[in-house]
Amino acid sequence: MHSLLPNNSSQLLIGGKLVAGGNGVFETVNPATEEVIGTAANANGADMDTAIAAARTAFDNTDWSRDHAFRAHCIDQLRTALQARVEELRAITVAEAGAPIMLTSGPQLEGPIADLDFAARLAESYKWETDLGVASPMGIATHRSLRREAVGVVGAITPWNFPHQINFAKLGFALAAGNTVVLKPAPDTPWCAAAVGSIIAEHTDIPPGVINIVTSDDHGLGAQLTSDPRVDMVTFTGSTATGRAVMANAATTVKKTFLELGGKSAFLVLDDADLAKAVGFAGFSVCVHAGQGCALNTRLVVPRARYDEAVQIAAATLGGITPGDPTNPGTICGPLISDRQRARVERYLQIARDEGGRIVVGGGRPADKDRGFFIDPTVIADIDNTATVAREEIFGPVLSVIAHDGDDDAIRIANDSPYGLSGEVWSNDPDRIRHVTDRVRTGTIAVNGGIWYSADAPFGGYKQSGIGREMGVAGFEEYLETKLVATSQ
């Protein structure tokens, strides 16, 4: 697989050209081995300024925003070109993001590429203009037409955990809506974005400046992108703390802002559910990609009368999952992205101990690994919903088990959080399920293992989990403005 990796430094994509970074290069590291696998172009502020200018020019001086059929053609071209290079992209994703290779056939790579088709078809089929008919406000007969138009230049800032899924969700829908884009990917996964930039430049008809990809280890470039008055909208996925900073920067020029932020989602098991099946499912899910998913259910909320049994099942499930080499097809729990992230998880595990939590299984680094940023899948018991690990996002393979005293108490626990991104409920009673799903304040909620992720389904959160929706028609419309044209008769 490693033979498919780039053999030199990646480049920026600015104004349709692949160029070096003004700050030279920075290293990209394989989190499973701690080895430097190469370098990425390191942009500076001047590079970001040039990228924003290119996006502004492409939006203002071309027909990109008005030629819906051409945009669909370009997105289709991009999808086809990505599929032709999928093995190279797979190697990069596994080596750079530490993503288990089994996930690259789904949400880590092939799924998001295929999802570009939905965005392309929206560009073709969306009703861009609606006739509101004639009315006579203030006695003046007026014909009204409602138009939907692109916002303009979109600044996109993306994280490292699911780089392709999030990059393509933003690029596909923003482009389909007629916008131009400056993408600033996470410094932990620059190759995932830069490889797409080279494909765009070499294999598509996307006009110069429509997509600009700026890799850098300087987080200040994200602040520059969000505050620049030439940028009309910011779309950001990442932590809630960073989201607040993005929102504050964007406010200086009153930009439209989409935020998909953190989560502390609850997995509610009602007393009529199959406890072994439900808890086993929850335990397995929280270990996928080493728990590095904002919508993973990290609070397991179970009936108090069966608490000890649930803890045992959770411990058996997580204890049976061994962190491993992401290139192995059987691995579901690979490494954490960095030593910094592992230290963060370890700090939370120590906080759990200090607050009286019991580490039932896991709680540290695997004894059989002296390289790689691995952490053992961990179950924390004997806490309630006031514990730090029940309230703050950890972003690791850590499951906190909390007792509830009935359906309404389970709902209370689920909602007793600053977040509201996702959740799940298991029960055999449709009425009780409806009671729960009606009252849990989250943007998505699964029932008995249902899958909410899909290109045609909107994703986003309540409360401090974000503003707006990504994907689906609702996500597409985030990238549109509304214009009313009134013509006297």
260 as an active site residue: the answer is yes
* Whole-number Å distance between alpha carbons of 473 and 475: 5
Q: 151 with 232: CB under 8 angstroms?
A: yes
Q: Which of 88, 96, 110, 260 is catalytic?
A: 260
In terms of Cα–Cα distance, which of 472, 446, 448, 478 is closest to 459?
Answer: 472
Burial class of 425 by CB neighbour count within 10 A (0 to 12, 13 to 18, 19+): buried
How far is it, in rounded angstroms, from Cα 21 to Cα 213? Answer: 11
Q: What is the DSSP letter of 102?
A: G
Cβ-contact 170, 181 below 8 angstroms = yes
Residues 6 or more apart whose CB falls under 8 angstroms from that of 368 comprise none
Tokens (6 digits) for 22: 């003004």
Active site residues: 260
